[in-house]
Amino acid sequence: MLLKDRVAFVTGAGSGIGRAGALALAREGARVIVSDLDAARAAAVAAEIGAAGGRAEALALDAGDDAAVEGAITGTAARHGRLDILHSHAGIQIAGPLLDVTADQMDASWRLNVRAHFVAARAAMSVMKPAGRGSILVTASNSGVQYDRGMIAYCTTKHAVVAMVRQIAVDYAPFGVRCNALCPGFVDTAFNAGFETQMGGRAALEGYVRETIPMGRWGSPEEIADGIVYLASDRSSFMTGHALVIDGAESL
């Protein structure tokens, strides 16, 4: 097992990519703290891990609540005597070009897509730096390495979080802590609601996926989860500050 006895904390783990990542980390031996805004979803994922023979704890957590996030992450480290992995995954997608997005909507995007990751990473680093080890993963998007038409809030924040990850990486590499960005492309989850609305419905979105992505299909949450395990584990021990793009070549 790649992650035997390691402790992993995941935000936004109740569904989609977050859920798939939590399941994959647990299969590789990690004890996973499954946090989500929806307590029932978090509990369901933790139960799924337990039923498969893994170890997990469920936690209701608003990723936008600074104090709650800090307390949950440092509390996890204190309770288990270590914190090896943070996957800060929770995010929001607000569609629209400049004239269609309000300042409040941009603030909401920034709060969850950048600030929340900063708060979570800062809390994890306070534990990982003294320990001299750790892997921090932040979910960005392939929108953080390219530009999507009519998605100013989403693209701006995703580019920002990639820059933040790289800055954390260079600042803390000497202390044994790695920090990388996960950049998925189109994965068939409920998170695509903004793109679906923008494109005029499900059929139009499916057509876009077929025509625009060179591989001609969606990615699966499980395919992204393989990338999560890679970044979390020692398989990527010489990788930090990287934006790992998994998108079927859409961004090329």
Active site (catalytic) residues: 154
d(CA 42, CA 40) in angstroms, rounded, equals 5
d(CA 203, CA 208) in angstroms, rounded, equals 9
User: Residue 136, SS3?
Assistant: strand
d(CA 18, CA 10) in angstroms, rounded, equals 7
What tokens does 5 get? 């006895």
Q: In terms of Cα–Cα distance, which of 56, 1, 73 is closest to 232?
A: 1
How many other C-beta atoms can be found within 10 angstroms of the C-beta atom of residue 78? 11
d(CA 211, CA 215) in angstroms, rounded, equals 9
- Tell me how far CA of residue 177 lies from CA of 70, 127, 135, in angstroms: 18, 10, 6
- Alpha helices in the chain, H assignment, sequence order: 16-27, 39-51, 66-80, 103-110, 116-131, 152-172, 193-199, 202-212, 221-232
